[in-house]
Amino acid sequence: MKFRARRYATNYPIAIRHGATEHKCVVSNISETGACVVGMNDIAINEQVELLHNNDRTPAKVCWVRVGKIGLIFDHNLSAGALDLIRYSLRQSTRPRPPQRATFTELR
């Protein structure tokens, strides 16, 4: 049985660099090993691309193509920090953010 990394739903805007061209897209779900990207057309399986996010570049390979969607496999797994930035950054989503630690200040 092959291990499959846990996928996290998101709605995070990114750019995909394919050759010299950058395409504005949205990550619909992501894991440490890959992502599903919406808004990308005219690309073939096994093409090399770069995912541009949070001032970082992640090289990846296209593993599947559907109408308006592509699946990416990252050349190197995303770090937990990079994965969390994409999962929890401000985005156009209706999902609530994870709870933050409460801090209390004494009022006098």
Per-residue pLDDT tens for 85-97? 888 875 444 455 5
Count Cβ neighbours within 10 Å for each residue of 18-39 and write b for 16 or more, e otherwise.
eeeeebebbbbbbbbbbbbbeb
Mean pLDDT of the chain: 84
Residue 67 lies in a domain: yes
6 SS3 class: coil
What's the total number of domains in the chain? 1
Cβ 86 vs Cβ 60: under 8 Å? no
Residue 97 lies in a domain: no
Q: What is the pLDDT of residues 35-88, one digit of tens each?
A: 999 998 889 999 999 999 888 899 999 999 999 899 999 999 998 888 888 888
Residue 44 lies in a domain: yes
pTM for the predicted model, two decimal places = 0.75
Provide the 8-state DSSP code for 9. Answer: E
Q: Backbone phi, then psi, for 83, in 5-degree steps?
A: -65, -45
CATH code of the domain containing 79 = 2.40.10.220
Residue 73 lies in a domain: yes
**Domain boundaries, position 19:** 8-88
Q: Does 1 score more than 90 pLDDT?
A: no
